[in-house]
Structure 1
Amino acid sequence: MQFSLFYFSGDGSSTSQDKYRLLIEGAKFADRNGFAGIWIPERHFDAFGGLYPNPSVAGAAIAMVTNQLEIRSGSVVIPLQQPLRVAEEWAMVDNLSQGRVSLSFAPGWHPNDFVLYPEKYADRKAIMWRDIQVVQQLWQGAAIEFTGGHGQPVAVQTFPRPLQAQVPIWITAMADDTFIDAGKIGANILTSPLYQNLDEILRKVTLYRQSLVDHGHDPNRGKVAMMIHTFIGNDRQTVRDRVKQPFKNYLKTHFDLVLKSAGELRFSIDPKTLTPQDLDDLLEFSFDSYFNGKVLMGTPDYCQQMVDNLQQAGVDEVAALIDFGIEFDWVMESLEQLKALKQHYDEVPALC
């Protein structure tokens, strides 16, 4: 079992001068302590995740303060990008990091994000698979034809040349078909436990491994990383007290997420009829449902059991999401606990 750090939250509307402190200091910590990588998302036009509109820019900053860990997009929303720019920007980060770039791709989901390319929204999944291939070809030095300013085809190569001959590819996946399609191209998987239980994860990972085999890839080389909200402390009640309000605020900033959670629990909710008390009750209920089994929050022993369960479900890496509003010093304390948990798995043989 490997461990990495994942960033997603953060209030992009803040005007504080140290809004990227946790990103930088967390990256330094992960690098010093042998973590596998650091994941940086792409989010647009909303305070939720709004600190990260361009993962390559953040990745370049991280490249300059780290030496070992992989710098990963988590994820590039490729239908919102021109693949030429993706190849250019991340090749630059690959050079700055001495060859440590790894890319996860996603099709995007929120229609408002597609003000950048509204014509791509309907076919975003097909566009993702197509443009992943384009990025791979450009990365390897191929000249690809695009239409120039005079309306004529122009064969274009991207520069700078990256250090890695091939960029490691991940696919952000929740649905069965995405797991299977990732296996077809030999990509790794980035997923989350928020909307799936352990049995569903095991089933999807099994589909993924079989797809790898069916398409000529080594099933043992494919990695499955699990993004999971993480905060570890010696006392479960103290952990709960520290995470409760920040996590409720986090849920509130993405109310669609709360509604989906409640909907899956067979609640019927009309947001137009919610009073402030109704909303707080819903957030309270959602927090409890996440805290009791959907997040890596609790004591070291509790979290170790959670990681054991993920490992038995076929997960290879815990991608610990740490930036959901908790005080900086408390997060750094939790990272020490996460380091100890990582060391436990460094020292024990892999499960069969």
Structure 2
Amino acid sequence: MDLSVMFFGADDAGAHAAKYDDILTITRAADRLGFTAVWTPERHFQQVGQVFPNPALLSAALATVTERIHLRAGSLVLPLHHPLRVAEDWAVVDNLSHGRVGVSVATGWHSKDFVLAPDAYDDRRERAFRDLAVLRRLWAGQAVEFTDGAGERVAVTSQPRPYSAVLPLWTTTSGNPRTWEAAGRMRTNILGATIGQTREELAGKIGAYRDAYAAAPEQPGTPPRGTVTLMAHTYVGRSDEEARQRAGGPLKAYLRSYVAQTATDKGAGDQAAALSEAQLGTLTEFAFRRYLAWGSLLGSPETCRKSLADLAELGCDEVACFVDFGLGGDEVLAGLERLAELREEM
């Protein structure tokens, strides 16, 4: 099983320069320790993920300080962007990194994000899947027709040309079974998460994805079997007690921030907004306890070894280890060192 590093943290305003320094330091360490990839998201206007407005921009910086680790968008909200611009930006990163890029396409979910493209909100799912196919064509060097400034249809080939012949693509899912099956039909890899679903639910979705992928027509450059990547909050401590003591407070604070962000989404209804502080605290504690029971890599090396073996048995090919949920930089680095040692032992 591949192990990667994922960033998606919630941060206090005003500490952004230090956050970027930490990302560079942690990524260099992950590169040295042999992790497969580093994932950076696209988020806008929220506490959660506030330092990640453009994964291509940050990946370009990471390309210049790393040698072998892959640089992936986890995720890129495709309906917010013109597919030509996506192809251009990631071709730059691909050249800077000598072919180490990958992109996971998301449909987008938070209504506030779409102040950048308000007309794309209602049909964001359809737009994302349509433009994913366009992105594949542009990356392959095909001319694609678009409307120019004079209202004419013109054929355009994106420049610069990428270093790699094929752009590795994932589809991001928050858990909707339809998205798992759509990813299979499009023959993309899939980026999901363990949180918010049971092991049995996740097993069913992975099975449906595998079936859809196997039945789908071949796409140029795609492998016969797709990659299932699952995000999991990660801190490998010296013992279960130490790991949970260090990670407990930061993770609960992160979960509270995430629920608060959901409450401001106009498309989600008002259920989350109606929660009192006491109810929010109870919900956060319940989520934390449930997550410790299954789906995280929070614990001793032995506990995390068992969790990784369980995820592999489930059909997971790669774990994107979410490390920046509130721990200090030194703690993250120490946890990665122990995780790398664990990977070598497996």
Please, what TM-score do these two structures have when normalized by structure 1?
A: 0.90
Q: Residue in 1 aligned with 2:186?
A: 185
Q: How does 1:71-110 map to 2 (within 5 A)?
A: 71-110=71-110
Shift of 1:31: 1.2
Change (3 A) 1:278 1:170: closer
Task: Indicate conservation of the 8 Å contact 1:22/1:323, yes or no.
Answer: no
CA deviation digits over 1:14-52, x for unaligned, max 9? 335311123112211121122111111000111111110
In structure 1, C-alpha distance between the alignment counterparts of 2:223 and 2:90, rounded to whole Å = 27
Give unpaired runs (5+ residues) of structure 2: 264-270
Do structure 1's residue 240 and structure 2's residue 244 form an aligned pair? yes
Shift of 1:257: 7.4
In structure 2, C-alpha distance between the alignment counterparts of 1:270 and 1:179, rounded to whole Å = 26
In structure 1, C-alpha distance between the alignment counterparts of 2:272 and 2:141, rounded to whole Å = 52
One of 219, 225, 238 as aligned partner of 2:229? 225
Change (3 A) 1:159 1:206: same
Q: What SS class does the counterpart of residue 207 from structure 2 fall into?
A: helix
Q: Residue in 2 aligned with 1:252?
A: 256
CA deviation digits over 1:228-271, x for unaligned, max 9? 00001112121111112111221122225788xxxxxxxxx774
Task: Indicate conservation of the 8 Å contact 1:246/1:326, yes or no.
Answer: yes
Task: Indicate conservation of the 8 Å contact 1:179/1:189, yes or no.
Answer: yes
Q: What SS class does the counterpart of residue 170 from structure 1 fall into?
A: strand
92-101 vs 194-203, greater mean Cα deviation: 194-203
22-31 vs 38-47, greater mean Cα deviation: 22-31
In structure 1, C-alpha distance between the alignment counterparts of 2:223 and 2:166, rounded to whole Å = 19
Shift of 1:111: 1.1
71-80 vs 146-155, greater mean Cα deviation: 146-155
Q: How does 1:83-162 map to 2 (within 5 A)?
A: 83-162=83-162
Q: Residue in 2 aligned with 1:299?
A: 300
Task: Indicate conservation of the 8 Å contact 2:16/2:51, yes or no.
Answer: no
Task: Indicate conservation of the 8 Å contact 2:244/2:299, yes or no.
Answer: yes
Task: Indicate conservation of the 8 Å contact 2:31/2:67, yes or no.
Answer: yes
94-103 vs 239-248, greater mean Cα deviation: 239-248
Q: What SS class does the counterpart of residue 159 from structure 1 fall into?
A: coil
Q: Residue in 2 aligned with 1:197?
A: 198
Q: Residue in 1 aligned with 2:285?
A: 284
Change (3 A) 1:158 1:273: closer
Task: Indicate conservation of the 8 Å contact 1:210/1:219, yes or no.
Answer: no
Shift of 1:158: 1.3
Shift of 1:151: 1.3
Shift of 1:287: 2.2
Q: Residue in 1 aligned with 2:66?
A: 66
Shift of 1:82: 1.0
Task: Indicate conservation of the 8 Å contact 1:4/1:317, yes or no.
Answer: yes
- How many percent identity over aligned positions? 40
Task: Indicate conservation of the 8 Å contact 2:33/2:337, yes or no.
Answer: no
Task: Indicate conservation of the 8 Å contact 2:214/2:225, yes or no.
Answer: no
In structure 2, C-alpha distance between the alignment counterparts of 1:252 and 1:125, rounded to whole Å = 27
Q: Residue in 2 aligned with 1:325?
A: 326
Q: Report the AA paired with residue 77 of structure 1.
A: V
Change (3 A) 1:339 1:100: same
* RMSD of Structure 2 on Structure 1 (CA): 2.0
Q: Residue in 2 aligned with 1:334?
A: 335
In structure 2, C-alpha distance between the alignment counterparts of 1:172 and 1:342, rounded to whole Å = 25
Change (3 A) 1:47 1:270: closer
In structure 1, C-alpha distance between the alignment counterparts of 2:250 and 2:105, rounded to whole Å = 28
CA deviation digits over 1:109-128, x for unaligned, max 9? 11111111111111111111
Report the number of matched residues: 336
Q: What SS class does the counterpart of residue 99 from structure 2 fall into?
A: coil
CA deviation digits over 1:121-150, x for unaligned, max 9? 111111111101111111111221211111
In structure 2, C-alpha distance between the alignment counterparts of 1:16 and 1:9, rounded to whole Å = 11
Give unpaired runs (5+ residues) of structure 1: 260-268, 346-352
Q: What SS class does the counterpart of residue 243 from structure 2 fall into?
A: helix
Q: What SS class does the counterpart of residue 146 from structure 2 fall into?
A: strand
In structure 2, C-alpha distance between the alignment counterparts of 1:246 and 1:7, rounded to whole Å = 14
In structure 1, C-alpha distance between the alignment counterparts of 2:207 and 2:318, rounded to whole Å = 16
In structure 1, C-alpha distance between the alignment counterparts of 2:74 and 2:338, rounded to whole Å = 24
74-83 vs 207-216, greater mean Cα deviation: 207-216
Q: What SS class does the counterpart of residue 227 from structure 1 fall into?
A: strand
